[in-house]
Amino acid sequence: MSAGNLPAEVTGVVLAGGKSLRMGCDKAQLPFRGRSLLDHMLELLAQGGIDARVVSGQYPGYRCIPDTLQDGGPIAGLLAVVEALPGQRLLCVPIDMPLLDPRLIRRLLTEAAQAACVRFADFALPMRLDASAAVRERLQAIAGESGRRRSVLALQAAVAVESLPLGAGDAAAMSNCNTPAEWDNLTR
């Protein structure tokens, strides 16, 4: 993709459509720094320079794009978003990564500008993804798979992801939480 063909609009996406089974409650509603984790993650995208933001999932009062495939994990959420926002550049963050730094969001927005997909080394999410027809086709194929073949990593391999290096100390900002014990450890 040449510089002139880059998507003009960037939409921030909070991936929050999962069932939070290991957490035992909806992660998006967990309290974090005086507000819900969902509000925190939306604000984090805004601090990173993204004005247009959506939630992958269903939350009344928010601009949402519900999954069209049931129990499809993050791939189902990504597919629904790519189908709803064709041609846009997406900046996707998981609901369960509250320590993410806005500076890292800005890096994903600005570095490797020609790449269709960008992430940080050793981490599938957050990522920048162009909602192109080719990406949509790959997502549709991957959504029909099972196990590890239906994963964000499988998508990234299929679209030739570019990995950015993390700076010293940035790995802590990439911590995510899936269980009550991980949440307790993260919020201490």
> In terms of residue numbers, what domain contains 98?
8-187
Distance (Å, rounded) from C-alpha 161 to C-alpha 158?
8
Q: Say if 162 falls within a structural domain.
A: yes
Q: Say if 106 falls within a structural domain.
A: yes
Backbone angles phi, psi at 13, to 5 degrees: -125, 125
Q: Which helix (H) or strand (E) holds 75?
A: helix 73-84
Residue whose C-alpha is closest to residue 42's, from 22, 63, 68, 73: 63
Q: Say if 115 falls within a structural domain.
A: yes
**pLDDT 10s digits, 26-76:** 888 888 899 999 999 999 999 999 999 999 999 999 999 999 887 778 899
Q: Say if 2 falls within a structural domain.
A: no
Give me the number of domains the chain comprises. Answer: 1
Q: Say if 123 falls within a structural domain.
A: yes
Q: What CATH number is associated with residue 106?
A: 3.90.550.10
The pTM assigned to this predicted structure is 0.90
Q: Say if 34 falls within a structural domain.
A: yes
Distance (Å, rounded) from C-alpha 185 to C-alpha 8?
39
**pLDDT 10s digits, 100-148:** 999 999 999 999 999 999 999 999 999 999 999 999 999 999 998 877 7
